[in-house]
Amino acid sequence: MPLISDDAPRGKQLIAVKDISVKIWGFLLIGIGLTIGGYKVAFLGLPISPNQQTKTWTVQAKVNFKGNGGPAIVDFTVPKITPGFSVLDEDFISSKYGLALQEQRESRVAQWAVRRARGEQLLYYRLFVAPSTKQVAWQEKPDFPFPPDFEEPYASAIRAIIDDVRKESADVATYTRELLQQLNAEQPNENVALVRSDINAGKAWTLTIIDILKGVRIPGRVLWGIPLTEATNDVKLRQLLQVHNGDRWLTFDPYSGAEGIPNNFLAWKTGNDPLIELTGGDRAEVRFSVTSSYRDLIEVTRLGAEPLDSALLSMSPIALPVPNQNVYRLLLMLPIGALVVVIFRTFIGVQTFGTFMPILMALAFRETQLFWGLLSFSAIVMIGLFIRFYLERLMLLLVPRLTAILIIVLILMLMLSLISNQMGAERVLSVALFPMVILAMTIERMSITWEEHGAREALYQGSGSLLVASIGYLLMSSEQLTYVMFVFPEMLLVLLGLSLWMGRYTGYRLTELHRFRSLVSRE
């Protein structure tokens, strides 16, 4: 005998276990989704709302030289590693020059070449950057330098300084800091004064420090960069001192001794290789200019994160080509609509035609706007219903009848569009984007409900569908929500968790509180 499971008490426990696992899964999914989202906000700098703007910088290097009339080759070093900034884009503007970009370990060299260069030549390089919190560092490991031979009396002065500093330092970082402090002291001792008297400021100062550091076999080099503080037309490259502590490069200001790369310092190149090398011409000159502008933060994040290895961003739809992005902008909103349907059906108890038809209606409203959508939808369904009632009397078979309704819906839509075109209402025109099949099915189902359960039930379900579709539309067309779903697709996990939770909701629906009220009021 096929009998009813006889393990009800055990089954009750199984239900409890099911409830717990649903809760755990929900927590896990929601937790994972929120964690990923939070990480992207906190560490990748993604804004939570759209249209947030950020300052971006454009650095332009203008290279000019005088051509000799023969072939000319310009090697120009351009940035590769830019801590504190992410590169959004770059341009090489050089009409007749061929361009080759050589990647080196810590830099890139743009090589412009031309067969014949006569007279004044102009080349441009433009770099677009935005502030970034992304960590990047120089990887190259230097050899230990040999102590250089200083001439007397500097040799003994430097030796004295070295010994002095060594007493008060523990490692490369503290040594460098102490050395810079002594060398830049306001009241220098005589050794320092002697060293300082020999050099004129600028390039030589950093190089001198590097030489002194060689005396204790600390590898050092110059870091060249551009301060991005204001828009100016003539910016000079600034130097910073970098020392290697065996592990990584530490950066110091050679004058103040401040450690680290200052904010707004755009690293351009390292080392002593020249910024520009020219063959086939003379009087090569590089001028830097800086401008700033504001761009959408999301755009900046996308551009900036692209060349970097942010797995999280490459896993999000903003990494897709633009046409696909637009499709996903729409698709990612469907779960929101579905959630609205769940809430209305499970928690409120509103009846709709079909489970997910309201979502499709809401999608259609996106094209027509709510008011015209509701109006044209109701109009077409109403006229369609009357025609459907007539078709009923013709006694057509089901599928041909549905086809007939489909054609009638198309005719109605065409007429509506033509009439609205005559009247100059553009909105209604887009009614053509209504899913026709949905309209036809609505008419068919509504007329059956009408006949079986009466007009009241049909209108009740019809208006329920429209209500859910309208609210779904309002949410699905929210710019903020679209943005969040698009930029944080991990919210899908949150929605999944929520729908698991709601799937085990066994409480009353709002409409049931009304329906069953007689069971209470009689008490």
The answer to whether residues 474 and 370 touch, using CB atoms and an 8 Å cutoff, is yes
Angle (CA) 265 181 224, round 5°: 25
Select the residue interacting with other proteins from 27, 39, 389, 508 (CB under 8 A): 508
How far apart CA 512 and CA 516 sit, in angstroms, is: 6
Per CB under 8 A, contacts with other proteins among 431-450 are 448
389 is an interface residue for other proteins by CB under 8 A: no
21 is an interface residue for other proteins by CB under 8 A: no
Angle (CA) 118 119 123, round 5°: 90
Give Cβ neighbours of residue 523 (< 8 Å, ≥ 6 apart): none
Tell me the site size for other proteins, rule CB under 8 A: 41
356 is an interface residue for other proteins by CB under 8 A: no
Q: Measured from the CB atom, is 200 or 518 closer to other proteins?
A: 518
| Least distance between other proteins and beta carbon 410 (Å) | 21
452 is an interface residue for other proteins by CB under 8 A: yes
16 is an interface residue for other proteins by CB under 8 A: no
At 468, the amino acid letter reads V
Q: Measured from the CB atom, is 15 or 411 closer to other proteins?
A: 15
Q: Measured from the CB atom, is 3 or 170 closer to other proteins?
A: 3
How far apart CA 373 and CA 362 sit, in angstroms, is: 9
Question: By CB under 8 A, which span of 223-231, 234-242, 418-426, 510-518 interacts with other proteins?
Answer: 510-518
How many CA atoms within 13 Å lie on the side-chain side of 57?
Answer: 25
227 is an interface residue for other proteins by CB under 8 A: no
Question: By CB under 8 A, which span of 23-31, 56-64, 283-291, 503-511 interacts with other proteins?
Answer: 503-511
Per CB under 8 A, contacts with other proteins among 264-283 are none
How far apart CA 237 and CA 252 sit, in angstroms, is: 16
106 is an interface residue for other proteins by CB under 8 A: no
Question: By CB under 8 A, which span of 8-16, 83-91, 273-281, 292-300 interacts with other proteins?
Answer: 8-16
The dihedral region occupied by 137, where left means phi > 0, alpha psi between -120 and 50, and beta the remainder, is: beta
The token duo for 395 is 């006694």
Select the residue interacting with other proteins from 453, 455, 479, 480 (CB under 8 A): 453
454 is an interface residue for other proteins by CB under 8 A: yes
Per CB under 8 A, contacts with other proteins among 336-355 are 346, 349
457 is an interface residue for other proteins by CB under 8 A: yes
The token duo for 413 is 């839509």
Helix, strand, coil: what percent of the chain each, to 5? 50, 20, 30
170 is an interface residue for other proteins by CB under 8 A: no
200 is an interface residue for other proteins by CB under 8 A: no
Q: Measured from the CB atom, is 8 or 423 closer to other proteins?
A: 8
Q: Measured from the CB atom, is 4 or 170 closer to other proteins?
A: 4
Spatial strand order in the sheet of 118-131: 85-93, 118-131, 53-68, 281-296, 232-235
Q: Measured from the CB atom, is 250 or 438 closer to other proteins?
A: 438
DSSP calls for 450-516: HHHHHHHHHHHHHHHHHHHHHHHHHHHT-HHHHHHHHH-TTHHHHHHHHHHHHHT--S--HHHHHHT
Q: Where are the beta strands (DSSP E) in 219-352?
A: 220-227, 232-235, 238-244, 249-252, 265-270, 276-279, 281-296
| Least distance between other proteins and beta carbon 336 (Å) | 22
1 is an interface residue for other proteins by CB under 8 A: yes
| Least distance between other proteins and beta carbon 401 (Å) | 9
- Using DSSP, how many helices (H) and how many strands (E) does the chain show? 18, 13
Q: φ and ψ at 276, to 5 degrees?
A: -140, 140
The answer to whether residues 282 and 66 touch, using CB atoms and an 8 Å cutoff, is yes
Give the contact letters, 392-421, x = binds to other proteins (CB under 8 A), - = no: ---x-xxx----------------------
The binding site for other proteins (CB under 8 A) comprises 1-6, 8-9, 11-12, 15, 346, 349, 395, 397-399, 448, 452-454, 457, 504-510, 512-523
